[in-house]
Structure 1
Amino acid sequence: MATRCAVNTRSTAPPPPSEPAKAEAQGSLAATCIRALLDRAGLPRHRQSAHIAGLLSLSYHQAHRRMTGIAPWSLEELQTVATHHGETLVDLFGEQKSADYETALLIAGPLRVTCRLWPGQPLSQHRPGDLIAIKGGSEWVVMVAGDTPTPQACTVRRLIIEPKPDRPRRFAILDDDIDVARSLAAGLVELGFEATAFATEAQLDAALQFDSFDAYVIDWVLPNGTAEALVTKLRSQSATCPIALLTGKAGSKEVDEKDLVAAIEQHGLLFLQKPMTASIAASQFSAAFANR
């Protein structure tokens, strides 16, 4: 007798996701939104887990699991992080639907402020005083139009300026010995600051077109002379920004100490002697920031 086998040819719907899979998906979405929020707040990626740990009183391991989407977020935790950075839960998750903004630099006189920009249509012409957006390379700049027409300017559809309470102080370090500049920058980064090293005045000038810094360390002896003109320019942009002159040649024939002292007194500068450790520099700058 032949044996009959019954075959079920009906399609079977895939089983619903398990509860752990649902939790993982929700945790991943929350982690993506939180990471985007911290990016908007200017917090470096390598410091975000530690920031969340401190904010939510978690261990670093627990915070890292949330930031990587492995562990779920509670509603209270999301609310705490959003509120701390001046956003609502609607802002937090709504950014996933409005990610067409650009990070831009708002320039108004000596003021440099990072902002979120929604650029509009290109302008064939504009009037003096109009707020315009310009793209230079990969960077956007928002500024008030002057009397001279600005080519390739766009309208500003929307602009959001957000406070960054946890943003670390940013240093620009200029030394024609790039190894010295990089070493000091690396030491300041280890201490929780942000720092960028420059080897030439031209490099620093180019960066200042689209960026801003909270403090400067400037080598007094540059290839084309002293840093007097550069310091005068920086001080004209900000009367209170801490600026330190750095040199290892004080007392030598290469440095006129009268000029050095005159610059320090005229512009209210700090003085750092090479070789300089980052901890000593940070101590002097911290006092300068407190006295502003």
Structure 2
Amino acid sequence: MHPSEQSASSQSIAAAVKDLMHRKQVPERQQSKKLGEILNLSYSQAHRKLNTGADWTIAQLQVVAEYFGESLASVGLGEVTAGSDGQPAGMMEQGLFVAAAGQHEYPCVMWVGEQLHTARRVDFVAYQDKEKWRVVETLQCPDNVVRYKVNKLEIVLKQPHVPTVAVVDDEQGFADNMRDFLNESGFKATVFYNATSIERVLHEGATFDGYILDWILGQRTAEGLIKQIRYSASPAAPIFLLTGEVASGLADEEELARVITQLDVQIREKPVRLNQTFTAELHKAFGA
């Protein structure tokens, strides 16, 4: 496929995905965030897919379609695709790949070729069972079905959701250490070194499963940022508030108590011990 044709195809798919989200009442400002959640992508990766014609895989489209309870045709794929030689690779269908002599089944996308009228050997065959396509090894195919050649097969493995966490701290070394610790502990962390940068991302519609915020950010506290999070698309997201300035007097205890009560945040004193106990607290709070 010529690069310009590939780009046009990706852009048309992106437009179809946007239309699907619109039909499913996902606000336009929330679409990149929602796609990131569905495909386990960062906000910027999802935004590029929807807006700059970044390439899509069949597996990604399958996941999007299944999430919204739609068929692949709803996310911009035609019924016939071309093979590497430019000839039709077959009809693209959704179905189940049957493995281990029927003990396991996996969602898949298949390209169904011609009907097989002879016993010639092919690796996999497809057949319809109660209006659902199944793919099996040739020797495992029932005798009393119409079988078709499988030209191409993609198995779709669903990935577990990885909680996303925003880390906001103007002490860059601490923020980077926290990000690395979270990423190694089963989270997907994004770091921001000032309130302005995350406020801009939130304004664009991004949300996170949880937030870890330093209380004092430059010349201001995080109260305004916390309020913005509480009025965002994920108002109930857990917020961990960090401060090491209570003893020095830079952090007002009365102000902190008010924020904890009114804005439902949890407070931890710096330096935070990055250990299994802290990891367990985060997993429990973020529902992981």
Q: Provide the TM-score with structure 2 as the length reference.
A: 0.47
From the CA coordinates, give the structure whose radius of gyration is larger: 1
